[in-house]
Amino acid sequence: RQRTLAISVWGAMAASGAAFGPLLGGWMLEHFWWGAVFLVNLPVMALLLVLAPILVPESRDPNPGRFDLVSAGLSMLALIPVVYAVKEFAAHGPSLNLLISAGVGVTAGVLFVRRQRGLAAPLIDLDLFRLPAFRAAVFTNLLSVFALAGVLFFGSQYLQLVLGKSPLQAGLLLIPGTVGSMLGALAAAWLVRYWRPATVLAGSLVTVALGAGLYWLLPTDPSGSVTPFIVGFLLIGLGEGVALTVSADMIVSTAPEARAGNAAAISETAMEMGIALGVAVLGSAVMAAFRGGLDLTHVPSAQADAARESLGGAIETARALPEPAAGELVNSAHSAFVTGIHLAATSTAVLLLLTAFVAYRAATRKPSATAAAA
């Protein structure tokens, strides 16, 4: 119970940081140079460097084993080329270079897995994935953050460039969802006292899927209501907060005590991969639909590439065009971008519903004798 509560507090603090970030960023964008949003990290990190050695208790593995730099390099080489290939494919279509890039990533991933199996002290203990509940929790961890990262990517653009909100207003409108994530994380410790963790996990994924489904109601007109976005993001935040906390708790509790550190590292890695893949995959899906649906009939060829590059590029291009071409381009850009959101939201909802079913089945299944022995 103490561990679950501790992980709930950890999840709530992460969510509160996510809630405060867009608000602070929006305020800074309205008052300072845009690069200031990066500089704000400097005083925060300086403060942590001073306080962490004082406030964070030391915890060491007495037999940590040798850190494998080759494995660390292979893990990066597996992920970065694949993310690059996905994003560039959505932007410019297929090419030989992208096929090579994806091939390099897949090859590095295979080599990484093979190397982990042969090391006495692997970077990631693959034997843990033989446990059904562990596999289900890691996959849920990744996908819950996957959905949240995708919404944060296109949500701020939708609020500012489609509905016409300022950066600060967009930050304020993102707060209900991120506060919902904080409340979900804190509620997780209470929920698992009354229901099985597998049931809570599946229910949280269904909640995120429902929130994603509400994005079919997003208006394309700047005068449209912002309510569907806020309610959808609130459901996504609530479900993600519960899912992230329960899955992290299951990951640590399922693993043997001696491997709790490795299990926690896998949990954190899954969360970071979910963020990277959410932005890459869902962001690319939105932009691919945007470029495919954009009407450039009345846009000069010299300006078409800039309009096709992004929603912001299309809005900026429209400002240099006479009427009615400018208005037609803006309306087309809004419609195409929201169509992309529909595509990403539908794909996410279907994926999460399938994951809820699979995760529930896996989390309630007892490990085989071979997996338990391993």
pLDDT at 367 over 80: no
Give the pLDDT of residue 48. Answer: 92
Q: Say yes or no to pLDDT of 373 above 80.
A: no
What pTM value is reported for the model?
Answer: 0.79
Model confidence at 46: pLDDT above 90: yes
Confidence at residue 37, expressed as pLDDT on a 0 to 100 scale: 86
293-336: pLDDT as tens digits: 888 888 888 788 888 888 888 888 888 888 888 888 888 888 88
Average pLDDT over residues 109-138: 85
Identify the band that residue 372 occupies on the pLDDT scale cut at 50, 70 and 90: low
pLDDT band (50, 70, 90) for residue 279: confident
Section 57-75 average pLDDT: 81
Residue-wise pLDDT tens digits, 190-217: 888 888 888 888 888 899 889 988 888 8
DSSP string, 227-278: HHHHHHHHHHHHHHHHHHHHHHHHHHHHS-GGGHHHHHHHHHHHHHHHHHHI
Which residue in the block uniquely carries the two structure tokens 């078409």?
A: 304
Label residue 6 by pLDDT band (50, 70, 90): confident
Which has more confidence, 18 or 319? 319
Parse the chain into domains and list their residue ranges: 2-28+131-373, 68-122
> 74: pLDDT confidence band, cut at 50, 70 and 90?
very high
More confident residue, 167 or 257: 167
Residue 65 gets the label, from left (phi > 0), alpha (psi -120 to 50) or beta, of: left
Which DSSP helix (H) or strand (E) runs through 337?
Answer: helix 325-363
Amino acid letter for position 207: T
- Higher pLDDT residue, 78 or 259? 78
User: Quick one: 89 exposed, middle or buried, by C-beta within 10 A (0-12, 13-18, 19+)?
Assistant: middle
Cβ distance 146 to 282 under 8 Å? yes
- Mean pLDDT over residues 210-237, rounded? 87
**DSSP conformational letter for 58:** P
Between helix 325-363 and helix 132-157 the angle, nearest 10°, is 170
Burial of 81 (0-12, 13-18, 19+ CB in 10 A): buried
Rounded to the nearest 10 degrees, the angle between the axes of helix 69-92 and helix 96-118 is 160
Question: Quick one: what percent of the chain has pLDDT higher than 90?
Answer: 10
Residue 129, C-beta contacts closer than 8 angstroms, at least 6 positions apart? 135, 138
pLDDT of 374 > 70? The answer is: no
DSSP-assigned letters across all residues of 21-52: HHHHHHHHHHHS-TTHHHHTHHHHHHHHHHHH
CA 160 to chain centre: 20
- State residue 276's pLDDT score: 82
Q: Would you say residue 370 has pLDDT above 60?
A: no
The pLDDT score that the predictor gives to residue 160 is: 87
pLDDT(371) > 70:
no
Q: Are 129 and 263 in contact (CB under 8 A)?
A: no
Between the ranges 31-45, 58-72, 129-143, where is the mean pLDDT highest? 31-45
pLDDT score of 51: 94
Of 1.20.1250.20, 3.40.190.10, 1.10.10.10, 3.40.50.150, the CATH number of 2-28+131-373 is 1.20.1250.20
> What is the gyration radius of the CA atoms in the chain, in angstroms?
22
